Amino acid sequence: MKAAYRVLAGLVAIGVVLQAMFIAWGFFTVDKDVDGGAVIAKNSTPDVTGLSLHGAFGMTLIPIVALLLLIVSFFAKVDGGIKWALFVVGLVVLQIALAFVSFGAPVVGLLHGLNAFALAAVASLASRRASRVHTPATETTTV
């Protein structure tokens, strides 16, 4: 179960990296299209593949993997594993909330981006915790 915990936490971190790649792809595509003379309006059909992948991963895949991590954390016997899994789930929930708020107040998108770094870091730390071999402290006796 420790291996499953490690892999799931690592997948969340990798998912965040993919999210950054998808959003960059999406907005560079939009920028290229606009620079080429395209007008983006409600009735236009720009290439939004990167933006769509960002939304799909962020609203489905990463939350599912984070919830699986939380479930596995109860059985994995990782020191502090449940706590770190809860941190991951909490940051995922915050990330989604910040995304929705950002549609109405785009400046909040700055916090969405910052929270992504926090999520990647916490998920990476959770994964590393599962890799540690726990060695109990040895007792020393004095005579």
Mean pLDDT, consecutive 10-residue segments, the chain of 143 residues? 95 97 93 85 78 94 98 95 97 98 97 98 96 61 57
In a domain, 25, yes or no: yes
Containing structural domain, residue 57: 2-131
In a domain, 77, yes or no: yes
Per-residue tokens: 63 = 């939350």
Total-model pTM: 0.86
Q: What is the pLDDT of residue 48?
A: 84
Which own/partner pairs from 21-24 qualify as long-range (CB within 8 Å, at least 24 positions apart)?
A: 22/50, 22/51, 22/53, 22/54, 22/57, 23/50, 23/51, 23/54, 24/50
User: With contact defined as beta carbons under 8 Å apart, do 52 and 59 qualify?
Assistant: no
In a domain, 138, yes or no: no
Q: What is the pLDDT of residue 41?
A: 77
Domains held by the chain: number: 1
* Residue 2 CA: distances (Å) to CA of 44, 80, 129, 138: 48, 12, 9, 23
In a domain, 61, yes or no: yes
Per-residue tokens: 14 = 């990798």
Rg of the Cα atoms in the chain: 20
In a domain, 85, yes or no: yes
Q: Return the number of other C-beta atoms located less than 10 Å from residue 59's C-beta.
A: 12
Q: What is the pLDDT of residue 13?
A: 98
